[in-house]
Chain A
Amino acid sequence: MCVTPSSDQTCLQLSFPAIEAEASAGIAELSAGLAHHGLPVEKADDVKIALAEAINNVVEHAYSGIEPAKVQVCCRLEHNQLDILISDTGRPLPGCKPPDGTAASVETSLQDLPEGGFGWYLIHELTSEIRYERRDGCNLLSLRFDVPIPE
């Protein structure tokens, strides 16, 4: 465990094994849970997309070639901000920092169109802040979203 589970009711928490099928169900559950916690619908799509990409990165890269352990996610919605902390015990991000996330160009021939490499680009586009820390063998990635306050 990288993060001690909080008893704070305002925090939506979930942890699941870092394998594709479990991650898919976990992402769907978190997306539904965030709506239930009051995340406005107009922001929900952005959060779903970025959250899925960040968790997929853990499954596909942090635990690539090693025994997958758990991914822990904690979402805290306060005032006009949503903070999502994603932690795992996989390998650190290369260079111990989040990739810049430049999107591959689509102005190319059909056969050269990119089939991947959009993950970090989408995360950068949809978040207001990305922080990453490697601590005690854990990756701690936090994504911040500005959330419009409902009228």
Chain B
Amino acid sequence: MGLTSTTTDAAQIITVHSERIDAAIAIQFKEDMRRETETDAARIVLDLAGVEFIDSSGLGAIVASMKQIGSERRLDLAGLQPVVEKVFRLTRMDTVFRLFDSLDDALSAKAD
């Protein structure tokens, strides 16, 4: 498990280095996200391209991270694999987050 973060002019990019965001790592993920997002970046893009599976606990951890980041800043998600996207779509969380096919797409989109 782990997250790495880089900052560009457009956004802070947090990359998830875990094949699964599931019940076994949800608490650790939330804690790592809290630490990585203690920045003043107005926009954070979470790159999920390497994530092969997410369950509802992992989804909950991402929602918790967005709450923690607050409404003054935004958290967008990029690079969702089909099964990950399906979990967002079934729970209608795809209406809450902006989902981008790739990190490039996310970075070329306007912040809002």
Taking Cβ atoms with an 8 Å cutoff, the residues of A that contact B are 20-21, 23-24, 27-28, 31, 45-46, 48-49, 52-53, 56, 59-60, 103, 106, 110-111, 113-119, 121-122, 125-126
Contacts and interface: CB of A to CB of B under 8 A. Distances in A.
Interface residues of B, number: 28
Interface string B45-85: 00000000101110111011011001100000000001100
A42 B90 CA distance: 16
B87 A121 contact: no
A52 B53 contact: yes
B25 to A, nearest CB: 8
Given A49-B86, A106-B91, A116-B60, A56 B67 contact: no
Contact of A115 (B20, B22, B64, B70): B64
Nearest to A22: B24
Interface of B: 20, 22-25, 53, 55-57, 59-61, 63-64, 66-67, 70-71, 82-83, 86-87, 90-93, 95-96
Contacts of B55: 49, 52-53, 56
A119 B26 CA distance: 15
